[in-house]
Amino acid sequence: MQALLQENREKSSLNLKEVEEPRPGRGEVKIRVRAAGICGTDVHGISSLQPPVILGHEFSGEVVEVGQGVERIKVGDRVTSETTIYRCGVCPYCRRGFFNLCPERKGIGSGANGSFAEYIVVPEFAVHILPPQLSFEEGAVLEPLACAARGVLEQAELKDKEKVVVLGPGPLGILVSWVAKTRGVSVALVGKQEDELRFQVAKEGGVDYLLNLDEVDVEDFILREIDSYGVDLVFECSGALPAVSLGLEVLKKRGQYVQMGIIHRPVAVDFDRYLFSRELKITGSRTQTASSWEKAISLLENTSLPLRKIITHSLPLSRWQEGFELTQSRKAIKVILKP
C-alpha cells in the first residue's frame, strides 16, 4: 500500500513509499483510511518521533477487518481513533485515566505507524464510532476537537459568563474558542494580519472578539474594552514565545493560564510577578484522554459546532507536499489528505 513514511529524523527522508499492508492482531481493528488531517506537528516535527514511521494521527475511515477478541467494533463501522494506542496500564497515570501521560505511551504517527496511508491498524480500545451526521472529513477533525475538549473542559475551571482569551487562531485555537463558547463565556481570539481567513471561520462559532496584533494593542484593548482587571482564563494555542508573555500579562489576579501550543524551547517565567504576587494558576494540556474524546463526541451530539468550516482543502495523499506547504504557509486552516 502507499504510505507517507518518515525513514529517519531528517525531513528529507519523508516520502510516499510502497509499504506492506498491515494485518490486525488479537484485539486490533484494521481501518481503511478515508480522510486524514495534517497537523502542525506533522509539518514541524515532534520530539517523540520514532522513525521509521508512517506519519498522521488525525483520521477517520471504515473498518475492513477485525482481529480475534474484538467485540465492540465490526466490519463496516465508520470510525476514528484516539492517538494513544499503547499505554502500560499500571503506572499512577494510567490508573487514573491519564493515558496521555504514561511514560510508556506510544502514539500513532510518532511512536507507531499512523494514518497517512491506505490502511491503519489500531487497538479496539482506542476506536470510536463516528456520529452519523459527520462526514469522513469532519471525522478526521475529531482528534483536534478532543484536544480542545481536554484543555477547556478538563484542565480549565471555566464558569458561566467568565472572560476568556485564546492566543493563536489555528485549527486548535479555533476549536478551543468554539468549545469555550459552549460554556457560556465571552471569548477573544488573538492572531495576526495573515489570519483573516481564520478569523472569519472563527466567527461561525460565535467568537465575541477578533483581535489582530498588527492593528490593535491587544493588552490595552482587553483592559479597556473587556475588563479593567483582566480576563479570567487564557488558552495559549500558538506555541509562540511572545504569546506566553501576553497571555500571562492580561490575566486578572487568580486567573488561569493553560498552555496548549508546543513551544519547542525553554520559557522563562517571573514566578514572583505571576505566581506569588498575583496567584495565577498555570497548567498545561497534552493531547487527549479517553474522557476528552467522549466529551468531544457529546459536544457534537448536543451542540452545532461548525466543524466543516475549518476544512479548507482536501487533497489526494499523492499531493501531500502541497498540503504540507499550505499548512506551513498558513494559507490553509485544516488540510485533509485522502489515500
- Please state the length of the chain: 339
When pLDDT is cut at 50, 70 and 90, the band that residue 232 belongs to is very high
Is the pLDDT confidence value at 10 over 90? no
CA separation for the pair 294, 278 (Å, rounded): 35
Is the pLDDT confidence value at 249 over 90? yes
Specify the residue for cell string 489582530: 212
Contact indicator for 176, 296 with CB cutoff of 8 Å: no
Other C-beta atoms lying within 10 Å of the C-beta of residue 312: 16
The domains spanning 2-140+306-338 and 148-284 adopt the same CATH topology: no
Instruction: Say if residue 292 is exposed, middle or buried (CB neighbours under 10 Å; 0-12, 13-18, 19+).
Output: buried
pTM: 0.96
> What is the second-level CATH architecture of the domain 148-284?
3-Layer(aba) Sandwich (3.40)
When pLDDT is cut at 50, 70 and 90, the band that residue 11 belongs to is confident
- Tell me the β-bridge partners of 257: 234, 282
Q: What are the residues whose beta carbons fall under 8 Å from the beta carbon of 191, sequence distance 6 or more?
A: 168, 169, 173, 198, 199, 210, 211, 212, 213
Nearest to 185 by CA among 143, 227, 246, 215: 227
Average pLDDT over every residue of 252-273: 95
pLDDT, one tens digit per residue, over 49-83 is 899 999 999 999 999 999 999 999 999 999 999 99
When pLDDT is cut at 50, 70 and 90, the band that residue 22 belongs to is very high
- Choose the CATH number for 2-140+306-338 among 3.10.110.10, 3.90.180.10, 3.30.160.270, 2.40.30.160: 3.90.180.10
When pLDDT is cut at 50, 70 and 90, the band that residue 285 belongs to is very high
The residues spanned by each domain of the chain are 2-140+306-338, 148-284
When pLDDT is cut at 50, 70 and 90, the band that residue 46 belongs to is confident
Percent of the chain clearing pLDDT 90 (strictly above) = 95
Is the pLDDT confidence value at 47 over 80? no
Q: What is the pLDDT of residue 113?
A: 97
- Tell me the β-bridge partners of 62: 32, 78
Nearest to 85 by CA among 134, 128, 140: 128
Average pLDDT over every residue of 217-234: 97
Contact indicator for 56, 115 with CB cutoff of 8 Å: yes
Specify the residue for cell string 518521533: 49
CA separation for the pair 296, 146 (Å, rounded): 5
CA separation for the pair 244, 258 (Å, rounded): 10
CA separation for the pair 264, 251 (Å, rounded): 23
Other C-beta atoms lying within 10 Å of the C-beta of residue 262: 15
Is the pLDDT confidence value at 44 over 90? no
**DSSP string of 225-274, one letter each residue:** II-TT-EEEEEE-S--HHHHHHHHHTEEEEEEEEE-S---S-----HIII
